Every structure is written in C-alpha cells, then in structure tokens.
Amino acid sequence: MDQTKIGKFIASQRKEHGLTQSQLAERLGITDKAVSKWETGKSLPDLSLFTPLCSLLDVTLNELLLGEVIPDECLKEKSNQVLFDVISGMLGNDKGHIPYTANNETVLQLENVKKIYEEADAKTIAINGISFEVAKGSFVGIMGASGSGKSTLLNMIATIDKPSGGTIKIDGQDVSGLTEEKLADFRRRHLGFIFQEYNLLDTLTIYENIALALTIKEAPKKEIQATVKKLAAALNITDILQKFPYEVSGGQRQRCACARAIVANPSLILADEPTGALDSHSAKQLLETLVMFRQDYHATILMVTHDAFSASYCDRIFFLKDGEIKTYLDRGVKNKQNFFADILDVMAKIAEDSCYVS
Ligand code: ADP
C-alpha cells in the first residue's frame, strides 16, 4: 500500500470538493494535524474513519486505498484485488484461527434491558430494550458510533450501573438484585476488566499488579507465583515483571492489564476500547492476546469498540445504534479479511439507513 499516493489522492479529492484541511478535519471530528499527516503520507486514517472519509470525498473504499479513481471498465477486477491486498496487509495472516464452536453454556444473558436517564427537563433513553446472550468461550464485540449506548451497556454488565428495566444475568445470577457489598464480591469472583487507560496501580510492580486478584483471594504464594510466571511468559512480559507501570511502554502496560484481567480465571472479561490508546502494532498484539485467551484459556470476552479492525478479531459482533441492537454478524469460518469487509459493509448500511434492521 502506497501511503504517499493515498495521501495525495485524499488531498486532491478534498480540494475537488472545495474543502480545506480544517473543514475536512472538523467534519470527521479529528484534528487538522491528522489530515495534514495523511496528505503528506506520514500516516493513514484510522480504520473507523474510512467509511465517513469515503463518503465525504465521494470515492469508494477501494479507490481510497488504491489512491486513485478506478475506471468503470476495470472496476470489479481491480476493486477485488485492491481490497484483498490492502486488508491482507493490515490484518496479517490468520491461518491459525479456530472457529468458535457453539457452546450451550451461557455466561451472560440480557433480557429486555433498558436504561433511561431522567433529568429535570429531559429524558434520554440510552438503552432501549436489549436482549442477547454470550456463550462460554466466545469473543463477542459490541460496535457502535459515539452516543449509541456502548458505555451505558458495558457499565450495566460490569455491575457498576443498574438498568432501569429488564434483567442481566451473569453465570445465571441476576445481578440487579445484589447489594453494593455483594456486588463488589461478585465482580471480584466473576469479572475481569481491561480498560483503555490500563488502570494499573502505579505503586505496585507489574508482578504485584497481576498477582493482586489472587492475593485478595488469599491463594497460596506458590500458586500465585506459578500462575503469574506462566501468564507473563505467554504475554511476553517476563522481563518487566519487577518494573513499575510508568517504566514500561503503553503496549506492555496493556498486556499487563490483560494478564491481570484473566489471572483469577473470571467467567467474563469485559474490555472497553482496549486498543484505544495503542499504536497499531501494540493494538494487533493486544487483540491476538485476547484471541489466545479464548483459544487457550477458554475465556469468554465481551469487547466494546467503535473500530472495525478490532472487531474483526471477534467471533460475533452486535451492532448498536440509538440504544438498540440493529443487527449482528457471526464470523464462522471466515478469515479476518472477509469478516472485516462484512463489518465495514454493515457499518456503512447502518450509517446510511437509520431504520436498518437485519
Ligand atoms: P457511547 O458509549 O456509545 O458513546 P453512551 O452510553 O455514553 O454512548 O451514551 C448513550 C446516550 O446516553 C447518549 O445520548 C448520552 O448522551 C446519554 N447519556 C450517557 N450517560 C448519561 C448520563 N449520565 N446522564 C444523561 N444522559 C446520559
């Protein structure tokens, strides 16, 4: 993929549409500097911006990625080749993907969940009757644009916030009925968390951060040592175990956060935009770690993201808009490239059609 060519193409199309860099940046909700970096070939747009950028510049995704207008006569042939080359390059080889096989055991069950925020003069229906299930050992994504209700939904599943209606069951237990004290204990026993901001404790070493959940459970010291050692080796962070979070890179901190989330073998790992603060290499490593968790540790993961690249690692994706699940996609035996293309397709349809339902 020729980054400089793509940059020049973005610049020429932008000018053709009479837009300044600032105007384009404003419409995409990003900084002028980001647009300038694309146009000089220093960086590529974030994958989540491809669809809105194409629509603003009135070009197809293939044309954007190729960096030139594709003439009608070779549209099909060239488009397929471009899409394949570009996405293969970005997503890498995933020969090792083991398709998720249906498991009858349900870890998470939502039934007609609602969240209404009532203020003095306004009422916002943030979540409007959502029902779905997450089976044990699956990696499930929740996708949606800003304001679609992702954080609200995740906070309720994380038991940090209570629904206005409906039920949320984790391991068969209805969490809405638990007291605050019982909830804290429930979270420790059943849930693991990975946030965008890592949330590691700066006064503890990486080892101590990972071991914390087991220490709280009063696990034997030898068992803690063996578990942390094994996980650290799997995540390639053995060398930094004695360092403090502020002494290691963002990618390493996030892998430490992953180790901490899984160390106590929770029923459900909740990941909130876990790649949001990472560069693309670290993001890829993190997502591969989550896939490894589900394959090797039979972990069940629910990840909230607005990014199609991150979502392409999931087994199933629910698409959220205006507080409702509009549709879902199963990866099945598809490779990441094809799944990614399907995700972009659904995102474009949902963005286009406010009434889109599968
Ligand atoms: P997302 O995480 O997808 O960006 P949110 O869950 O933050 O979406 O928000 C969904 C909707 O609920 C938005 O319209 C938002 O303005 C509204 N909302 C979220 N939190 C509150 C709150 N505490 N009080 C009132 N409205 C809220």
Q: Ligand 1 atom closest to Cα of 144?
A: 3
Take atom 18 of ligand 1 and give the residue whose Cα is closest: 126
Same-domain status, 154 and 239: yes
Distance (Å, whole) CA 130 – CA 124: 15
Helix (H, G, I), strand (E, B) or coil at 212: helix
Q: Which of 24, 56, 91 is a domain's end point?
A: 91
Q: What CATH number did the domain enclosing 172 receive?
A: 3.40.50.300
Is residue 101 a part of any domain in this protein? no
The pLDDT, as a whole number, for residue 99 is: 57
The pLDDT, as a whole number, for residue 242 is: 96
Number of domains observed in the structure of the chain: 2
Distance (Å, whole) CA 228 – CA 200: 16
Same-domain status, 126 and 63: no
Take atom 20 of ligand 1 and give the residue whose Cα is closest: 152
Is residue 77 a part of any domain in this protein? yes
Is residue 57 a part of any domain in this protein? yes
Is residue 253 a part of any domain in this protein? yes
Same-domain status, 207 and 234: yes
Token reading at 118 = 């009532």
Please provide the distance, in angstroms rounded to a whole number, between the alpha carbons at the two ends of the chain. Answer: 34
Show the domain range for 16: 3-91
Residue 199 falls in which region: left (phi positive, over 0), alpha (psi -120 to 50) or beta:
left
Same-domain status, 295 and 234: yes
Separation of CA 338 and ligand 1 centre (Å): 32
Same-domain status, 341 and 276: yes
Same-domain status, 140 and 85: no
Which among 352, 331, 347 has a CA at the least distance from the CA of 138?
331
Which among 337, 336, 338, 318 has a CA at the least distance from the CA of 328?
318
Is residue 132 a part of any domain in this protein? yes
Helix (H, G, I), strand (E, B) or coil at 287: helix
Q: Which of 91, 116, 135 is a domain's end point?
A: 91
Same-domain status, 229 and 253: yes
Separation of CA 28 and ligand 1 centre (Å): 20
* Helices 75-91/336-352 angle, 10° precision: 110
Separation of CA 143 and ligand 1 centre (Å): 15
Same-domain status, 73 and 128: no
Same-domain status, 15 and 115: no
Decide if 60 contacts 70 (C-beta within 8 A). Answer: yes
Separation of CA 81 and ligand 1 centre (Å): 41
Q: Ligand 1 atom closest to Cα of 323?
A: 10
Bridge pairing between strands 139-143 and 316-321: parallel
The pLDDT, as a whole number, for residue 256 is: 92
Site residues for ligand 1, CB cut-off 6 Å: 117, 124, 126, 144, 146-152
The pLDDT, as a whole number, for residue 18 is: 94
One digit per residue, the tens of pLDDT, for the chain of length 358 reads 678 888 999 999 999 999 999 999 999 988 999 999 999 988 888 767 887 888 899 887 778 877 888 776 655 555 555 555 555 555 554 544 555 555 678 999 999 999 999 988 889 999 999 999 999 999 999 999 889 999 999 999 999 899 999 999 999 999 988 888 888 889 888 999 988 777 788 899 999 999 988 888 788 999 999 999 999 998 899 999 999 999 999 889 989 999 999 988 899 999 998 888 777 888 888 899 899 899 888 899 999 998 888 999 999 999 999 999 999 999 988 888 889 889 988 988 888 765 444 4
Q: What CATH number did the domain enclosing 25 receive?
A: 1.10.260.40
The pLDDT, as a whole number, for residue 139 is: 95
Decide if 132 contacts 166 (C-beta within 8 A). Answer: no
Same-domain status, 135 and 237: yes
Same-domain status, 81 and 203: no
Is residue 267 a part of any domain in this protein? yes
Q: Ligand 1 atom closest to Cα of 119?
A: 25
Decide if 71 contacts 79 (C-beta within 8 A). Answer: no
Same-domain status, 68 and 128: no
Q: Which of 44, 62, 91 is a domain's end point?
A: 91
Is residue 215 a part of any domain in this protein? yes
Take atom 24 of ligand 1 and give the residue whose Cα is closest: 117
Is residue 99 a part of any domain in this protein? no
